[in-house]
A and B are shown apart, each in its own frame.
Chain A
Amino acid sequence: MRSPNDVLNLDRLGCLYSYRLSFMRILTRKIMNERWRINSTQFDLDENGYGTAIYTVDTTQDRFTFVVFAHHLDPAKRSDRVIADQWDMTVTLCAGDVDEEQMLMLRKNVPVQEAGRVDSRSIVLSRANKSSRNFDYVVDELAAGRQPDLQTLARVGYLYRTTAVYGSGKFGMADWQLVRRKYADFARPFAAEMFSCFMIRQFSLDQAEAIAHKRSPKTAVNLDDSLKRYMGIGNATGLGMAPYLINHPQLISRWIAIRETAIDRICQHAPVTEQKLSALGAMITKAAQHLAEIATDNEDQNRRNNATIKEILAIRDFLTEQRSTDWPTVLVKIRESASFETQELVNSLLTELYPELIDDLEDDLCLDESLQLVPEQSLIDVRKAIEDKYGWVLDIDFDNRESRSVFWYRSLEKSEPRLGHRGSDPGEDKAMAMTVAYDVRQCYDKLCGFIESNPGACAADFAARYPGYRSILRRIQTMSQYIYGDIHANLADTDILPIHLLRCKLSFFGVSKFDPKSRLWVRNTMFQGAPICSDIGEKYEDDWYFPVMPDS
């Protein structure tokens, strides 16, 4: 296994790519292999596509209902920000069938999202906005009887973009504990949320076709299936996602450990064969094309993508001359010459080569989270644990103003997390607890002093004497038990790049085409290249990773 110092480096985590065990991939395999039946049972849209749609979803175990409300939205109100209060589409995923009474409740509450209340029959609440560039263009072309131009579609890659996907009991919905226990199909992290995005994508395609047909019944055509598959669902993710990574260290650690275990198993047990090298070479070619097709205005991301393309193509050439018989030797050579982006891209591709070695790990992505004090642990052992596991914290000079210049706070506007600068922005006194590194350092210093006068003391003695440190002490003791503990990042540093946190989590979700809009938020694409509902029942190849434009 790679060392925590390597893996938990935020610069590296900010270069992660989706891989075979990313949540969208796992979900799609499940839908396709189990042949879920997804049917549109109500599709009451007017000529503009506004109205209500209902899809029933029959898995092998349960029935779910996906309810969509499509609205008129003043273009001036269309915003990716969480603080928006109107959207083109609002949706909920419900357990079981939805009767009239429930439908009335949903109609009243789902369109207003955070301002409404649902109940535990709802599992996910979400919304999405049209891509102003793509949606009208696609409808116009279909209505005129033409397929939209592939190059035009490719510049965006989706018709709608989600701006928030809520689950886990928010706004009265089903608690995660309930979902995990009662609905086995969604008993993996964010499975229900990912499925809702899959369905938003499906509705976006259905709606575009419906509008085209209503507008021009005689000339309209459906979108080609290959283009439908190429249309993903867009996503905009901002700082709201960052606290999750700090507040769920055990879960994030588990996801990272699973990814590392997958890579390690391949290194330990998979021989390098000509066939595998050839397959990897083909994957690299596809990944390079995928990166080349990313359209972003972000110069840094473009530079990174171009550098990665250059590096992976060089690696492809290197692999054709490869005589090594084990992956560790190959990976060491790659590591010596390539950037984090390229290293992690190759790691992701490796996982595609050996499903038989890693697929069982998808059952281990959940864990019960609870930060627990180990009250009897000697303080000397706690100090050693900090020195061993949080050495990166002890290397930070907190006397340097820049290492503490940023604070995180929640805005009055929908509690949106935001960044402020100490000494100049208001809200410092209301800062969120995001400064794990600083808190560990404070605890360490206090604890060292306590040990001097109480050499035989245990963690509980220290916590009772300094109760304000209970929380960080629990975190230190709990996370010290994991191979991959806390992310190595000082989130108060002036140079912090929150976008790395976002990309890390999004890679586990399975998104692609990162398009950073600033260091604070990123657009990306979900399910691009994935099967569409009408593909269910057909042979499934599970090869939609790093999607590229279909042959025109």
Chain B
Amino acid sequence: MAIKLSLNELTSLLKRSLEGLAYCQSDFEDAANAIAWLESHGLKGLEIEILPARSAHGAETSATASESGESIAVFANNNVAFCGRMAVELACSIAAKDDFAEIEIQHCRERRAILSSLPVCAARGLHAITHWRDNNYLYIASINAFRKTPDIRYLPNSLDHTSDLNRLLFACASDAQVINSLSNELLSNSDCIDRHDSSESLKARYEDAITGGIYVDDEVVNTLNGYAEKILVEATEQSRQGAGE
């Protein structure tokens, strides 16, 4: 069974759920927005793992830039749903100074969550590209400055790139040509494109989600509600006084 949620409702539920999982405000806001963005664009955001990776009891430590320099910063061991936007913001700050920035996130998971942060970069007047690989595909997503939706290409990953399976690269630049060149270089590595989610098709999916709502499996909703309940406090006669009765 599936339940239809509005986008606002889904985002709110995700925030409460992630808060219930003891993530800090910055983390639960970023991750909730990332997941809801993916889901509303038909990119299966709700399949993203949200449970803390390292501790069954507390929150996963937030992403921290272990090294930041003139043009590159490296993040370590994180879920991109939580650290992706921060990485993009860091890249934006570098590009504002140098006209170009490249960020590598190493040892990361849930890499497609970076897609939701591309519009953040574009809103700052920068062109951006991100790419990563899994066993099947090389994923390339790009966005032009001031656009709201990226363009995603899925290329067959025929090469042995086992070392690339848990890293992600992101670059942004004030000059569109720089990003186009990077994109062309990546695309030239393959003879064909298996799948293409154009910005128009993503926009159309988003419009459908806004117009008709988003179907979510009721088990997923129940699970999220279960997490969200952790932020609720037992009601007592005393507590009712705290609402003015």
Contacts and interface: CB of A to CB of B under 8 A. Distances in A.
A433 B231 CA distance: 11
A125 to B, nearest CB: 12
A442 to B, nearest CB: 12
Interface stretch (B46-54, B133-141, B151-159, B232-240): B232-240
B24 interface: yes
B63 A467 contact: yes
A520 B234 CA distance: 20
B193 interface: no
Interface string A168-187: 11111111111001100000
A410 B92 contact: no
Interface string A464-479: 1101111110000000
B120 A372 contact: yes
Interface stretch (A138-146, A300-308, A411-419, A484-492): A411-419
Nearest to B206: A177
A430 B210 contact: no
A175 B233 contact: no
A412 B229 contact: yes
Interface string B63-92: 111001000010000000001001001101
Given A427-B233, A517-B244, A175 B210 contact: yes
A411 B210 contact: no
Interface string A290-329: 0000000000000000000000000000000000000000
Contacts of B86: 460, 463-464, 467, 470
Nearest to A522: B244
Contacts of A238: 243-244
Contacts of B64: 464-465, 467
Interface string A369-413: 000110110000000000000000000000000000000011111
Given A412-B234, A413-B235, A420-B239, A171 B9 contact: yes
A84 to B, nearest CB: 12
B185 interface: no
A471 B24 CA distance: 9
Contacts of A440: none
Given A177-B7, A375-B92, A471-B26, A520 B244 contact: yes
A206 interface: no
Contacts of B83: 467
Contacts of B230: 430
Contact of A376 (B92, B210, B234, B244): B92
Nearest to B11: A169
A120 interface: yes
A455 interface: no
A464 B9 contact: no
A81 interface: yes
Given A376-B93, A468-B62, A430 B73 contact: no
Contacts of B123: 372
Contacts of A425: 238-239, 242
A238 B245 CA distance: 10
Nearest to B213: A120
B27 A467 contact: yes
Contacts of B8: 168-170, 175-177
B93 A471 contact: no
Given A410-B233, A468-B24, A169 B7 contact: yes
B58 to A, nearest CB: 12
B25 interface: yes
Interface in B2-50: 3-9, 24-27, 29-30
Contacts of B27: 467-468
Contacts of A409: 233
B55 interface: no
A81 B245 contact: yes
Contact of B9 (A172, A413, A459, A469): A172
Contacts of A515: none
B57 interface: no
B65 A465 contact: yes
B212 interface: yes
Given A238-B243, A372-B123, A471-B26, A175 B92 contact: no
A264 interface: no
Contacts of A373: 89
Contact of A464 (B68, B243, B245): B68
A518 B240 CA distance: 13
A239 interface: yes
A503 to B, nearest CB: 14
Contacts of A413: 235, 240
A518 B93 contact: no
Contact of A467 (B26, B92, B231, B238): B26
B243 A520 contact: yes
Interface in A91-144: 117, 119-120
A493 interface: no
Nearest to A376: B96
B149 to A, nearest CB: 15
Interface in A494-525: 517-521
Contacts of B62: 467-468
A458 interface: yes
B99 to A, nearest CB: 12
B123 to A, nearest CB: 7
A551 B242 CA distance: 42
A426 B232 CA distance: 11
B160 to A, nearest CB: 33
Nearest to A418: B242
A471 B23 CA distance: 12
Interface in A59-99: 81
Closest 4 CB pairs of A and B: A169-B6, A520-B244, A427-B233, A169-B8
24 contacts: A81-B243, A119-B213, A120-B4, A120-B213, A169-B9, A170-B6, A172-B3, A172-B4, A177-B210, A373-B89, A375-B90, A375-B92, A375-B93, A411-B243, A412-B229, A430-B231, A460-B93, A461-B93, A463-B90, A464-B73, A467-B62, A470-B26, A471-B25, A521-B244
